[in-house]
Amino acid sequence: MATYQLISFKTCPWVQRAAIVLREKGVPFEFIHIEPGNRPDWFHAISPHGKVPVLRIGGTLALFESNAIAEYLDETIEPRLHPEKPVRRAINRAWTDHLPVFASVLSAVSGAADAAAHAQALEGLRTAFGKLEHALSTPPEKGPWFNGSHYSLVDAGYAPFLQRWQIVEALTGISELAAYPRLADWTRALIERPTTHSFPPEEFEALYRDALSRRGGWLARNVAQAAE
């Protein structure tokens, strides 16, 4: 059986996405954590873009980019997470293609320099949340996931980002998810699913809180004030 090593920064949501897919498929794997500011030469040799995740398979093959990794795993290892119907599969791929845009919206909120920039970024976040709320309002069947009862690559992709946003709300008192009940339910279901988590929740919250602090800006200051 092939061995799988996932090259990672500890708080990287794109790595977490790949780890979720591996766990959903029951694939044993090893984390290899590296520091963002001290990327070793061997890493640059297998990561053409200098980014994580990289999935090293059998010590010889190295796959990069989280979407490509997720698609490869779904094509080669059961159970299949993509829907069987081609139309629904296309819709799912459209939403996973949208992930970098969604991530940038969340990043604008977490990295806003001051209150004015934060307020403007929140408007963008509400637009993004509204789009997801609409998509979640028309699943093909009942259930807690993006496609109803069938867990998919969309769920695996959005889980890390919604987990981080739930932590932001808990740390700051910001309450945006409450205005989007289906999105709030989806977030809750994703966070409750064991495969979402690469670390115990308390440990990850501390890691993410530290990452926010290092980033600085309005949100980091308010997280610090909430802890005092």
Digit-coded pLDDT (tens) for 175-228: 999 999 999 999 999 999 999 999 999 999 999 999 998 888 898 888 766 655
Which pLDDT belongs to residue 154?
98
Which pLDDT belongs to residue 219?
87
Find the farthest-apart pair of alpha carbons in the chain and give their distance in angstroms, rounded. 54
Task: Pick the catalytic residue from 6, 12, 153, 159.
Answer: 12
**Which pair of tokens denotes residue 125?**
């976040």
Which pLDDT belongs to residue 7?
98
Query: How is 108-133 classified by DSSP, letter by letter?
Result: HHHT-SSHHHHHHHHHHHHHHHHHHH
In order of their start, the domains of the chain are: 4-76 (3.40.30.10), 86-227 (1.20.1050.10)
**DSSP code for 54:** E
Which pLDDT belongs to residue 228?
55
Name the amino acid, one letter, at 91. Answer: I
Name the amino acid, one letter, at 2. Answer: A
Active site residue 12: yes
Instruction: Please say if the pLDDT value at position 62 is more than 80.
Output: yes
Which pLDDT belongs to residue 225?
65
Which pLDDT belongs to residue 179?
97
> Percent of the chain, pLDDT > 90?
87
Digit-coded pLDDT (tens) for 112-166: 999 999 999 999 999 999 999 999 998 888 889 999 999 999 999 999 999 999 9
**Which pair of tokens denotes residue 202?**
């308390």
In 3D space, the residue among 40, 96, 108 whose CA is nearest the CA of residue 70 turns out to be 96
**Which pair of tokens denotes residue 195?**
């495969």
Mean pLDDT over each residue of the chain, to the nearest integer: 94
> Percent of the chain, pLDDT > 70?
97
